[in-house]
Structure formats: C-alpha cells, structure tokens
Structure 1
Amino acid sequence: MSRFRLLWVALLGLGLVRCTVPSLEDLWREKGFCAVGDEDCGMLRIRVDAQGFVPGCLRITARDGDRDAVLSMSIPYRGTERAGRTLTQGFSPPKDWGLGVTVTVDGFEQGCDGAAVANQQLGFVLREGDISDLAFLLRATDADGDGFVSAATHGSDCDDANPAINPAATELCNFQDDNCNGVRDEGIPVGETCIASNGCTGSNTCGENGAVVCFAGPIVQYAWADEDQDGYGDTSRGQVPVCTTELPSNRLPLSAPHNDCDDSRASVHPGLPELCNRMDDNCSGDTDEGFNVGTVCADSQTQCVGLFECDPSGNRTYCKPNSAPPTWYPDDDLDSYGAPDGGIASCARPDEGFVPQSGDCDDGNPFIHVSAPELCDEQDNNCDSLVDENGVCVGGVPSWDTRVPAGDGISLHAASVYGDGGVWVVGEDSTRMVKTPGSKVFSVLPGACTDGASPQSLLSVWAHPQTGVAFIGRDQGKLIVQTPESANCTPRTLLSSSSATVMGLQGVLADGGVDIHGVVTDTAKGNGGTFLWNGGLTTISIKTINTTQFRGVYGISPQVMFAVGGSVSSSIYRYDPDLGFWRADGTAPSGASLNAVHVVNPKLAYAVGTRGTLLRWNGAWSPVSGFNSPDANLTGVLAFGTHSIYVTSDDGCIYRYDGASWRVVRCAASVYGIAGNRPDDIWAVGRFGQVTHYPGWPQ
C-alpha cells in the first residue's frame, strides 16, 4: 500500500472519530445518473448492447418502484467512440427513492426523437453498500447498414436490402421509392414532352443510373426553324431535324428564306421598315438607323439640352432633356417674385418677365411679395394675410392728411420726391418749399423768381434723387436751380423762347451729371416743344413740335420716356435716344387731351387727361378698363404696378386702385400734382396751398 493511500486511510479514520463524512454512495445518490462514460460511478451499472443495428441514440429511463418519480438521459451512440461497444452507464437512486427501480432502455435509428425501434425494460432491487450490474440487449435489423432500421423491425427503411434506399436518399428516376415516402419518382418529369438530342419531339423516361432521358423517334428530314412563324427561318440555328414527313407550323422547307435575326418576334425580319424601338427590325445589322438616337438635341418646349430618344409610337424620336428643367414664374410687377400660378418649366428663361422663384401674392404691386417689408399702406405686403402689422403705422390708421405749409392763397402745381423722405413743392407766386429727409416740416424758400415786380408761376420740378437739388421750370421761358439752403430764386437759365411755359421736367443721371428732359407749351405761338438741359446756365434751344402743346413728361431712362399733351385730342411722344429726338406714338387713342404721364417700369406706364381718360401702356396704349369717371379732368397719375394706381383730378378727388376695385380716398380742393417713390410716402399738391401726405403727416 502506498504512503499516500495509508495517509488517506488514517485521515479517514481520524475523520470518522471526530465527525461524519458523506460516503461515496451518498454522493452518487445525489447525482442520479452519472456522467456519460464514467464507468466507476453509481450503485447500478447499466450495460447496453445492440444486436442487428447500430442505434443513433440511446435513451435510459429510471423509475422509482414505490412512486412515480422518473429520471431520464439521452446518449448519442452511432458516430461516437462508444459505437460498437457495450455502453455502461452508472445510476444511483436519489435518497428519497426506494431501492427498487425499473430501468427502460430505448434505441433510435437517428436522434433521440420520434419512435424507438427497439427497447427493453428490467426491474431491479438495489442493496445499500453494494454495486450491481444490469444488462440490456436491444435487437433490430439494419441489414444493409445504411443507418436506417428495417420497416419490419419498427424502422423506416422500406428496402433493408439496398443501402441506396432509405428516408435520407435522393429520389432518382428508376421506378422505385428511393426515399421511402411511399411515392415513386416524385418531382421527376417522366412522361412529359421533351426535345431529344436529335431535335425530335419525344417524352421523358428513366435511363441508366436514375437519369432522366428524352426518348424520341428517328429524324425524317431537316428544315429551318421559324418559331415566330413569320415566314423567315432562324439564321442562327441552322438546319434543324424534323421527325415527321409533314413540316409543323414552326418549320420551313430548306428552300425558304432563312435570314431572320430574331426568331422570337414576328415583327422582326428582313424587308420590314425600321422602327425606333432599340431593335434591328429589318435585320440590317444596325439598330434604329435613320432616327439619330443618342445624338445631342434641344427640347423645343423646355429649351433643355438632351439626347434624342425613341417615341413610344416607334415612328419618331423626341428630345429627352438631361435633367429636369427649373420652373420660371411670371413677374409682371418686376419685384423678382413670381405669381404662384402660370409657371413654365424651361432651362432657358422664357423672357425678361419671368423669375426663378414664386411667392408673390399680388403680382401687380412690387411692394407686395413674400419677405417684403410691411408698409403702412392698407395692404398685406409680406403675404402673411395680415395688414399693417408690427406697428408700421406710427400715426395710427392710415389717412390722407392735408396741411397748408405756405399759406392758402396760392395754387401748388407740382411735387418731386428725393432721397428717403425728401420732397420739393412748387407753385404760384414763385412758391418753392422743401421738406428734407428726416424733417417733419416744410421750409418755404425766400425770393421772387422774376426779373420784374410780379412773382412768376412755377409749374414743374424735378429733384435730384441723391443730392436733393431741385431743377424748376417756370413761365416766360426760364429754368431755375435751387437747394434747400437757397436764399433767393437764382441761378436762372433762359430758354430760346421767352413765351414758353415749362410744363414738365424729368431728369436722368448720366456720366456724373444729369440730363433733364423738358416739355413746354407756347401759347403765344400756338405750339409746344421739347428741350434737353444739363442744369447749366447756357441758353437752351427748344425743339418745336407744331402740332402739340405739352403738359407732362416722365421716364425712368432715355429708352423709356414719354411726353403727353394735346389741345383737343391726346398726343403722346416717346423719346428716341439713338436719334436724339421725340417720335409720335401712333398707338395713342384719340378723344381727349392728356395732362400727365407716369412710367412704372420698362413694360408699364400710365397717362391721364380730360373726360376721365386713363390710359395704360404695355407696348401699346389703350384705355384702362374699370375706371369710370367720364366727366373728370384728371390732372396727375402715380402708379407702382397694375394693382397700385393713384389718379388725381381737378375736382379735388384722389382715386385709388388696389387690384380689386377703384375707390375715392380723398375729395377736397383741386389736386394738380402727385408724387411718390413708395406706397407709404405719397405727396399730392393743389389749390389753396394744400399739401396732402399719405399715410399721414410725417411724425
């Protein structure tokens, strides 16, 4: 006995004296079944052998003889190192079991599921402190050794003499049930029509080694294949065999044409007209010849560059743009925001009247569009459905506030705005007054604008938009230059006719200076005329126009400038900057003389006159529909767009159009002039020295 063993026995004896140590049997009974392969464990050594087959799995079940307690374990067998040997499995009944147990061993074909193909049950009474053996022998038949037990011994192998036949086998074409599912040759097209290797039609049958073969009769003749039956044989397949004396409908005699390049389409064969469909319709070897498919083009509607593509009809091409075109929106008021409707998809801008963004809820007023600043003008300027919000009306509700800065004994004839809030006003008795930007009151300048004793009438004024210098026209053929600081009515410039009255002035900034276009009426000579003044003192020559007495001039550039007048009928002239003279506009309607004109933008202008005449120019002059005051003598017009127009009259009324309707906004003393560069800064002047401002007097 080794020293280690002696030491262990001594320690065990000492332990028995001092305390109780669990026995090995107690430890076994805590486990029940021992670990698989541990043959030195357990009170009962269960030994299992198999005869006639090799189980895929073994299941051992132990039951307490005194009650229904059960323990079970499954042990893989075939394919492990235990296969072919006696399997020994240790077991001890738990401490709460009796010593009488019943053991059942089940053997399975494959895994431990389904039904067992063999089993045996034995009972045994164990003895404490003893180790017993219990032998089992499972019998089943696997004669062909394919791992599946014969159906005759409760297995699933339907032919235990052939290892190629079992439930795991692949079904072959051999007229037998290879996979033991009760059906022969399932999923195999036996008997179906087929084409044999010689090209003849036959039927499928089973050949050697389970292969499917097509059996057909002998070749009788050769022909051309014509599967689309268009009368042209398939050039790619060559001569094909036919197994009948009579040719089928999809075969042609060898004398027939056989140059069909697509035998799947009857619409494709030599001699047909070529279509635009990405196919070689006439078998010429080319596709869509004559249609220029893929070449660069410009779409006629969108002006976008693209490539020619086939039209769905196949008879023509169309230009497919390379990218989606942007949308352009009509912008009649030229505020760079287009109306939400009427958009045109185009790569090129349709014309100058279109812009790439919409957002204009009123395309007749340039002061109304999305993101526009809100003004005090009784309009929704920023298209948010609110009017005059955010406290823009400093003086309260908008009104036409009238005051008399220079006394009520004179008539005021003209006004001209400049800068941000500046305005000049001129009239009878040499009246010149100015409100500078930021000021709330007018300054009346001193001095009589005459060489004699009688003050003269000042009938026209144009203020430099940046400097505020005023260029003034008067009767008796003179021009005057004034600043807000002028202490007298000089300097003065003479016209070539001392009887000419300057009825209108319009300046244009040019080369660091100004070009001022003027119009006159010469009652002494019974005619009118025009002149061009640079603001200097040199005598200005008048270009006489015998048939017209002018009353007004207005323009935004030399290219868009009109002069109006007439004694008994309307007369309109337009300046030609290339030739340097005024040309009569033949589109002016007759019937009334004209008093004033206002140019809104390069595409829009308005003119007014006697008999309630209101004309609009958008390339040609025509009456404005909707305005109805046939007896009024209209004296002035101011417009910001087709939906924002102001007209003054000799009877003292001011008419306003907001895009929806005309209405009278003020009626008092006669109004002779109106000016403004935005809807919330409008000045009107007239009889009795009255000066009116909208939307209220400057605060």
Structure 2
Amino acid sequence: MGCVLAVVFSVAGCRKQEDPPNAGAVRVLVSYATFRPGCLTLTVTDVDEPSRTETADIRMEPSARSDVRTVAILGREGWSRNLRLTATAHERSCNGPVVARHEVTTQVPTVGTAAVELDLRALDLDDDGYVSSEGTFPGSDCNDDDPAIHPGATELCDGVDNNCVNGEADAPGGATYYRDADGDGFGDPTALPNLSCTPPAGYVLEAGDCNDQDPDIHPRQAELVCDGKDDDCDGFTDNDPFDVGTQCQTEQNCAGFKQCASTALTACVSSETPREWFQDEDGDGEAGTSLGLWCASPSQGAVEDNTDCDDSSRFVSNAATEVCDRLDNDCDGQVDEDQTGCDTEAWTTTNATPASITWDTVAAYAGNKGWLAGRDGRVAHVDGETITLVADCPGEWNASWVTSAGRVFLGSGAGTFTTRLPTDTGPCVDVAGPVSISINGMVGFEDGNRVALYAVDSQGRILRWNYEEGAPEQAAPEQLVELGGNLRSIDGTSPLTLFAAGAEEQGGTSHPVVWRGPTEDGGAWQKESLGNVGVPGFLRAIRVLSPSHVYAGGDGGLFLERAGTTWSVKPAVTLPSGNAADIRGLVAFSSKALYAVSSGTNHIHFFGGTAWSHATNPSPSSQMNALSGTGPADVWAAGQSGALVRWRP
C-alpha cells in the first residue's frame, strides 16, 4: 500500500483517459429508476483525510426514467486508496431538493479495476417531474398520482392543493381562516392561520379573539362583567359600559376614577376629603343649613362657612343685631341680652266698636298697619291705634292677605273675593270665585305691580287670582287643582314652596292632611306623609319658613314640624287644665319663635323650640281667633269682642 493515488472521473461515453502508471481504478455504476433526476452528482471523499473531496455532475439522458451511468475513478497523487462514494439525485435541477442518496465505501485496488454499484430510488409515479413528498428523501409533489398537481401548477378553488403550497390559500377566491377553539365565531389571531377556499372545521374568517379559550370573550359586545378582563377584545379592560379607570365624580362631587365595586357595578373612588357646605335657606344672606360633606359646591350659592345659627329665621344670623323679639338674633347664645325691660314688655289691646264684632282673620303690614275682617261683613283698616271700619263690605270673611303697600285681599265663606286699598272709600266689590265654596286661607306673592294670590277652599281646591295693580280689567280667579278633602290654610315663601293643610275623611272620620305644591312649573301637588299623628281632626293653620322648616297646627293641640323632608309631632298646645286645645291660628318667625292661638283660653301661646308657654302679659280679656305679624317684634292677634292685641316692643 504505500503508493499515492490520483482521483480522476471517467464517465461512460467520454473519451478514455490513460491510466496512471502502477495504479488500479474503481468503476462506479450509478443507477436510478421511476423518476427523472433533475441533477445527478457523485462525491468522492478520502476516508483517511476527509478534507480531500471532489464532486462531479453525472450526465444523464433527459428522456430516461430509469438508467445506469458509469463513472471511472482513477488514482490521484496524494490520496489514500480508501474512498467514500456518495451518489445524490436532485429534483428538477441541482438546486432542487435531494430526493435520493446512496453512499458506500470502497478501496482503490493497486492494480486492476474494482466495481461499485450505487442505486438511487425515488418515486415520480405521475411523471410530472416532481418527486413524491413521501419517503426518506421527500420531493415536492404533494400528490404523486396526479400529474396536474405539483409545485408551479395553477391553484384552483377545487378542494385540492394544486401547487402544493399553503393549501388553496393562493387560489383566486381563497381566504384566510383562523382557528376558533372556543366556538364563539372569532378566531385566534396569534395562531397559524389556515389559507383555504372553504372554512376548515374549527376555523372562521374573522380573527380578533383575545382569549380563544373562553366563549364569553370576543369582539363586538359590551363588557360582560367588571372583572379585570377585556371581554370585548378592544384592548381595554372593563371599559364600556363600566368605564373603569375613567374620570368621574363621586356623589359628594369629589374627583375620582371608576373602579369595580362588583361584577355588575362600578363605583367612583376619590382620594379627596369632602368638606361641609352650607346654604342660605331663610333668605337673610347668611348660610346656616348644612348640605353635608362635599368636595365641591353641591348647589348654587353654597358656601363652606356657617354664618347662621338659625337658618329657619331671616331675623337671626351671625351678622344680625340683637333686638327685643325673644330670639338670639346675633347668634351669641343669649336671647334679648342688653334689651332693658324686654322681658316685661306688655301686649297692648285695642278694641273696635261695637263689642259684638268677631274678627276671624288679621293681616299686618309695615308701619304698625294692618287689616281686620270677620263675620257679619266686618272689615276694618288699622293705622297705629286707630281702627277704621269699612262701611259697606258684606260677607263672612275667613281669610286675608295684604301687600307691602297695604292692598288687602279677602276670601269669604261664599267663595267670593274682594280687594281694596286703605285709601278706598266706596263699598267692597265682590269678585266671584270658580265655585261658591268657603275660602278658608290665602297667601300671595308680589312681583312688581303684579300679585299671584293662592287660596284654598272647603272642597280641597287650590285657587289662583292673578291681580295687576292699575289694570283696566282684572283676570278672574281660577281653579288650579282639586285635591279633595277640606283645606283650611295655605302658605309658602314663593309659588314653588307652597303647602296646604286641612283634613280628609277616612271611614267617616276626619284626619289631618298636608299637600305640597309643585316645585317646578307644570308639576303636580303631592300628599305629604305625616305618619301616625295620634289624633283625628283638622289642621287649621300652616306656616312655611323654608321648604325644610314648615309648621302646622290643628285640632287636639296637634303641632307638627317638617324638618328637611320628614314630619314629626311636636309638643301639643294645652289648656291650663292640661287638656288639649284646638289651634285656631299660627305664625312662625323661627323654629324657636312661633305663636299660636287656641280654643278654650284667652292666652297667646309661644313655642321657643322645645315647649309652649304663655306669651301675653296681661292675657287678652277675650278669646283670640287669628294671628299675623311682620316679624318677631310685631305680633298681632285678633278675636272676639272686636279685640286686637299686639306685641311691638
């Protein structure tokens, strides 16, 4: 062995080359069958020194599907005799996939010729030039039984992968389908799509499913539950309709962000600390009614400073000056301090003549002036200590109200109205109401030269008379609504804060009733819930300090307070004997300054916030039927024997 070989290829059909001296040769027979190789190669490698290798193409007969090619290998200088021979067949061209390979080892003889056979096997049964994709060395033909199916063929939407690439995806009319594992109609965009003319089982046309394991999660739906998941796959968690993370305001006007409060609800959560706010409810310019805790103003005019210790009274605030009126006007915790003689200030009595006069209604206005009216057509104007009777004013006058200029409006037991100024000298002029039913109470509101007068009658009607001073013709009184029952009194601080009181019959018994008027134009009257008041009968007087401070009194000494929106029973008015007295009239200037007159006693009663006491000194000599006043230091009472009793310290 010691000799050195040179390797030279000799392929059958080529010119025979001269053998190197003193060297043998290897004759290689390369056979193939059942396919047409696009390229045949033979690689010779020196087993003892693998870096020595040479490859050569083997020429073939293009029309032959089976053939044997002969290659001669001669010795070459520097090579060993131990060789590895590798025959390789490629599909279509030398750049095509390897579809067959056979490898053997042999030894070049020192003399003579050794024969080696290399057999290459591949299948191209349909003879389309593409080898079957099955086997150890697969080709690119995905269907070796059909010569029309192979790479490069025209793809059709016929249920067949004609060109062996991506199914039918590249066929005209084909589409991309996405796996839909949870069956909700939307595919997984992260999974490998399927390109096909028809939807494969478990695939859909539309992707976008952000959780293909949950059928309740998919695009084009609202967020289902507030759970930290993106139910509609829009890239946002718990948005519409929950809108988690969006800016919001709490019920206390605090800026915050929405958070899940349950699977169905969100809550606005804020880091701000609410503060107490106050509003001016009694109209004195100072705020004292708490609106609760808020981060920002809860209503127009609300402030953070409490400057009114009694927001039920326009006569009390931190900015007011103390006067003699039984109130702590300046909010210093003392009543009538430094008001010398205030506690002994007497009530004065002025009697009209004749003594048979009975006053059933009184209406005071500025400057110690007022009007009195009652039975048997008695009407009088009061100017200081002078009481001037109206000569001709027939009627049983039950109700009155007076403007700031002294124009009085009267309502009669026959359902008629009349009105006059102190300067009028002629007889009263009757104005017919909508019905001939007793008018029992009235209140009015001035707006320039116009007055809106509201009245109630014994059949539960609310009446309105729009009167314009100086107009050549006046509108007639009209009925607004019929509530039923028997209404005795009406009051309010504006047309939108009206309350009416009386009684309604239930099972043959009269029971107290209060109605609240509309709080906006076009609204309806609403019956108030009084709860169990404990006694039957009528409420005969109602007084409104503000919508949150309303007082009503009636039969059996019943005295009610509306604080906020809730009615409660307060201490009853009683006679000296301890028995309950029927309240006939009521005026209110504060939750701590109310006056009442009642049956069975000549006293005028005073309520200071906790209990009733006798206010008059001395007591009237006759029974009082009605009350009025322009303020807590100007209180009027009128009744039998033509008596007018006043407290004006």
Q: 389, 393, 398: which one pairs with 1:449?
A: 393
The question of 1:460 aligning with 2:422 is answered: no
Residue 483 of structure 1 deviates from its aligned partner by 0.7
Query: Partners in 2 of 1:695 and 1:399 — Cα distance?
Result: 9
1-structure distance, mates of 2:303, 2:340: 29
In the alignment, is the contact (CA less than 8 A) between 1:406 and 1:444 conserved in 2? no
* CA 1:370–1:446: 2 relative to 1, 3 Å: same
Determine the C-alpha separation between the residues in 1 that align with 2:372 and 2:486: 23
* Pairing 1:481–2:423 present: no
Corresponding residue for 2:627?
674
Q: 2-side partners of 1:673 and 1:326: how far apart?
A: 45
The residue number in structure 1 matching 2:6 is none
Structure 1 residue 426: deviation in Å? 1.3
Give the equivalent residue in structure 2 for 1:401: 348
Question: Following the alignment from structure 1 to structure 2, what is the Cα–Cα distance between the partners of residues 318 and 549?
Answer: 51
Whether 1:638 aligns to 2:638 is: no
Residues 373/430 of structure 1: CA separation in 2 closer, same or farther (3 Å cut): farther
Equivalent residue for 2:321? Answer: 373
**Structure 2: where are the runs of 5+ without partners?**
1-236, 238-244, 259-267, 468-472, 505-509
Question: Are the aligned partners of 1:504 and 1:552 in contact in 2 as well (CA < 8 Å)?
Answer: yes
Question: Are the structure 2 counterparts of residues 406 and 391 from structure 1 closer, same or farther at C-alpha, using a change threshold of 3 Å?
Answer: farther
State how far apart, in whole Å, the 2-side matches of 1:631 and 1:365 are: 28
> Cα distance 1:592–1:352, how it changes in 2: closer, same or farther (>3 A)?
farther
Number of residue pairs the alignment of both structures matches: 381
Answer yes or no: is the 8 Å Cα contact 1:494–1:537 preserved in 2: no
Q: Kindly tell me: are residues 299 and 377 of structure 1, through their superposed partners in 2, closer, same or farther at Cα, counting changes over 3 Å?
A: same
- Whole-angstrom distance in 2 between the partners of 1:333 and 1:319: 33
Matches within 5 A, 1:79-478: 300=250, 303-305=253-255, 319=270, 327-329=276-278, 335-337=284-286, 346-350=294-298, 355-362=303-310, 364-384=312-332, 387-388=335-336, 397-436=344-383, 440-450=384-394, 456-465=395-404, 467-478=405-416
Q: Which residue does the alignment assign to 1:600?
A: 545
Task: Tell whether 2:611 aligns with 1:611.
Answer: no
Q: Which amino acid aligns with 1:469?
A: R
Cα offset, 1:298, TM superposition: 6.7
Contact 2:278 2:288 in 1 (8 A): yes
Residue 301 of structure 1, CA deviation: 8.6
Partner of 2:168: none
Match for residue 529 of structure 1?
461
On the 8 A contact 1:411/1:687 being kept in 2, the answer is: yes
Structure 1: stretches of 5+ with no match in the other structure: 1-289, 309-316, 451-455, 522-526
Alignment correspondent of 2:190: none
Taking a change above 3 Å as real, the CA distance of residues 422 and 303 of structure 1, as seen in their structure-2 partners, is: same
Q: Distance in 2 between matches of 1:470 and 1:663?
A: 32
Q: In structure 2, do the counterparts of structure 1 residues 348 and 442 end up closer, same or farther at CA, with 3 Å as the change threshold?
A: farther
Query: Structure 1's 588 and 335: CA in aligned 2 closer, same or farther, altered over 3 A?
Result: farther
Deviation by residue 1:180-232 (Cα, 9 ceiling, x = unmatched): xxxxxxxxxxxxxxxxxxxxxxxxxxxxxxxxxxxxxxxxxxxxxxxxxxxxx
| Corresponding residue for residue 442 of structure 2 | 505
- Using the alignment, how far apart are the partners of 1:490 and 1:385 within structure 2? 49
The Cα shift of 1:673 comes to 1.3
CA distance in 1, matches of 2:491, 2:291: 33
Superposition deviation, residue 680 in structure 1: 0.8
Shift of 1:649: 0.7
Amino acid aligned to 2:494: S
RMSD: 4.1
| Secondary structure of 1:505 counterpart | strand
Deviation at 1:683, TM superposition (A): 1.0
Residue aligned with 1:369, SS: coil
The answer to whether the Cα contact below 8 Å between 1:429 and 1:448 also exists between their aligned partners in 2 is no
1:493 to 431, 438, 441: 431
Question: Over residues 301-360 of structure 1, what are the superposed CA-to-partner deviations in whole Å (9 max), with x where a residue is unaligned?
Answer: 97455899xxxxxxxx98555xx97653476756454569x8966441356896432244
- Counterpart of 1:529, as a letter, is R
- SS in structure 2 opposite 1:534? strand
Pair 1:516–1:361, CA change in 2 (3 A): closer
Compute the TM-score of the two structures, normalised by the length of structure 1. 0.47
Identity of aligned residues (%): 24
CA contact (8 A) 1:571 1:588 kept: no
Give 3-state SS (helix, strand or coil) of 1:556's partner. Answer: coil
Report the Cα offset of residue 443 of structure 1.
3.8
Cα deviations by residue, 1:228-279 (Å, 9 ceiling, x for unpaired): xxxxxxxxxxxxxxxxxxxxxxxxxxxxxxxxxxxxxxxxxxxxxxxxxxxx
1:574 is matched with which residue? 516
In the aligned structure 1, how far is the partner of 2:521 from the partner of 2:572? 36
Find the counterpart in structure 1 of residue 102 from structure 2: none
Amino acid at match of 1:463: V
Task: Give the CA deviation at 1:365.
Answer: 4.0
Contact kept, 8 Å, 2:465 with 2:476, in 1: the verdict is no
Deviation at 1:372, TM superposition (A): 0.4
Distance between the aligned counterparts of 1:478 and 1:343, measured in 2?
Answer: 43
Offset, 1:555:
2.0
Work out whether residues 362 and 637 of structure 2, in 8 Å CA contact, stay in contact via their aligned partners in 1: yes
Mapped contact 2:603–2:615 kept (Cα < 8 A) = yes
- Note the 1:540-559 alignment, pairs <5 A: 540=477, 545=482, 547-559=484-496
